[in-house]
Amino acid sequence: MCLIKRLLSYLLTGPASEIGGVYCETEAFNASCELGSAILMTHARYGRMRLSRCVRHDYGHVGCAADVIDLVDTRCSARRRCSIRVPDALLATTKPCPDDLKPYLEARYVCVKGTSTLHQPVTTIKLIPHRRRIG
pLDDT digits (tens, 9 = 90+) for 6-52: 556 555 655 568 899 999 999 999 999 999 888 889 999 999 888 88
Question: Given a cut of 80, is residue 134 above it in pLDDT?
Answer: no
39/33 Cα distance (integer angstroms) = 6
Q: Is there a domain that residue 133 lies in?
A: no
The mean pLDDT value of the chain amounts to 80
27/21 Cα distance (integer angstroms) = 11
Q: What pLDDT sits at residue 41?
A: 92
What helix, strand, coil percent values describe the chain, rounded to 5? Answer: 20, 40, 45
CB contact at 8 A, 116 and 123: yes
Q: Is there a domain that residue 50 lies in?
A: yes
pTM for the model stands at: 0.75
Q: What is the pLDDT of residues 48-103, one digit of tens each?
A: 888 888 888 777 778 889 999 999 999 999 899 999 999 999 999 999 888 878 89
CATH number, domain with residue 48: 2.60.120.740
Rg (CA), the chain: 16
Residue type, 6: R
Domain that holds residue 18: 2-127
